Structure 1
Amino acid sequence: MSKAVSALGGVSHSGFVDVAEAGLRGMITLRGDLASAKMKKAVKAATGTAVPAARRIELNGDKGAAWMSPDELLILVPYEEAVATVEALEKALAGEHHLVADVSDARSVFTVKGAKASEALMKLCPVDFETLAEGEIRRTRAAQVAAAFWKSGADEFTLVSFRSVAGYVMGLLEVSARKGGEVFPA
């Protein structure tokens, strides 16, 4: 059996902010009636969080649930727990219309850290960063590719993209974070 590896092997870059591939992360697409009692119970059991409101992410340590659309969540768990979490969700939602898919190996995760982290992303994503609250997730694009991100700390963002474009996304982040490229120089 082969060993799972992230798309870019944890590559990182330091500029006016630090950008890095965050490594393997368990990610599960969960679709169904987000208001159903069974769904709420299954999400709570899998993540320790409630089903998030629209455009929100609920985190509980290294687990969480992110709202992706009116009938879709992205479940976050440690990579090694993804398969068991899929099985548990399937069992918990038996008899109810739903879809559960392990997308861990189809996605890449990046972090952007530093006091001006939003400035690196402003150049890539059409989002009003002044109104972006902690715990809010945005599905958008980073230059020409689909991405989702959230403010994961006071000076940190977590960004998710397709694994197939991980090199492109890291290149974008690296160029966007280069020293001297700040949007609002001091």
Structure 2
Amino acid sequence: MSNAVSALNGEVHKGFAEVAEAGLQGMITLRGDLSSAKLKKAVKDATGCDVPATRRIVMAGDKAVGWMSPDELLLLVPYAEAAATVASVEAALAGEHALVADVSDARVTIRIRGEKAAEVLMKLCPVDFPSLAEGELRRTRAAQVAAALWRSGPEEFTLVSFRSVAGYVMGLLEHSARSGSEIFTA
């Protein structure tokens, strides 16, 4: 068995904001009836988090659950725990109409940090960043590729995209964060 390698090998770029690959992240897609008591219990047992409200992400330590659509959640767990988490959620949902899939190796996680982190993303994503609250999750586009993002701290955003376009997304973010390309607002 081979050793897992992150999509961008820890690539980091510093401009007027820092853009850095976050490394390996366990990611599980869970599709089903989000109002089901059985599903809610399975999510809570696996992550310590409640099923989030629409367009929200909730966190408990190194685990999180993001609302992706009316019947889809993204469970974030440490990479080494992804397979075991899939197995436990599948077992907990036995008999329930649901899909549980480990998508860890199909995604990349990138963090954008700094006082002007939102400016990096403003150039690429059709999102109203000044009104994006901490813990609010958006499915959107970064230029021409699908992405999900959230404000993960006061001066930090986390972006998730497909591994197959990781280099493209990192290139976009790096270019957008280059010093001298800030957005000047009054």
TM over 0.5: yes
Distance, in Å, in 1 between the alignment partners of 2:184 and 2:142 is 20
Distance in structure 2 (CA, Å) of the matches to 1:129 and 1:109 = 19
- 1:130, distance to aligned residue in structure 2 (A): 1.5
Unaligned runs of 5+ in 2: none
Cα distance in 2 between the residues matched to 1:74 and 1:166: 19
Say if 2:137 is the partner of 1:137.
yes
Residue by residue over 1:113-142, the C-alpha shift from the partner in whole angstroms, topping out at 9 and shown as x without a partner, is 000100000000000112111000000000
Distance in 1 between residues matched to 2:82 and 2:132, nearest whole Å: 29
**Cα drift, residue 147 of structure 1:** 0.3
Where does residue 42 of structure 1 map in the other structure?
42
Distance 1:50 1:184 in 2: 39
Counterpart CA distance in 1 for 2:169 and 2:45 is: 33
Hey, what's the Cα distance between the residues in 1 that align with 2:183 and 2:89?
43
Q: Displacement of 1:62 after TM fit?
A: 1.0
Deviation at 1:53, TM superposition (A): 0.4
Identical-pair percentage: 74
CA deviations over 1:29-67 (Å, ceiling 9, x no partner): 000000010011000011101000000000111101000
Measured in 2, the distance between the counterparts of 1:62 and 1:5 equals 20
Question: Does 1:116 pair with 2:144?
Answer: no
In structure 2, C-alpha distance between the alignment counterparts of 1:118 and 1:96, rounded to whole Å: 40
- Counterpart residue number, 2:21: 21
Structure 1: how far apart are the matches of 2:90 and 2:66? 18
User: 1:73 maps to what in 2?
Assistant: 73
1:1-186 map, 5 Å: 1-184=1-184
Q: State the 4+ residue runs in structure 1 displaced beyond 6 angstroms.
A: none
Structure 1: unaligned runs, 5 residues or longer:
none
Alignment partner of 2:59: what SS? strand
Counterpart-to-counterpart distance in 2, 1:44 and 1:183: 41
Amino acid at match of 2:10: G
Q: How does the TM-score come out when normalised to structure 2? A: 0.99
Give the SS at the match of 1:119.
helix
Count how many residue pairs are aligned between Structure 1 and Structure 2: 186
Whole-angstrom distance in 1 between the partners of 2:184 and 2:44:
41
Q: CA RMSD in A?
A: 0.9
The offset of 1:185, in angstroms, is 6.4
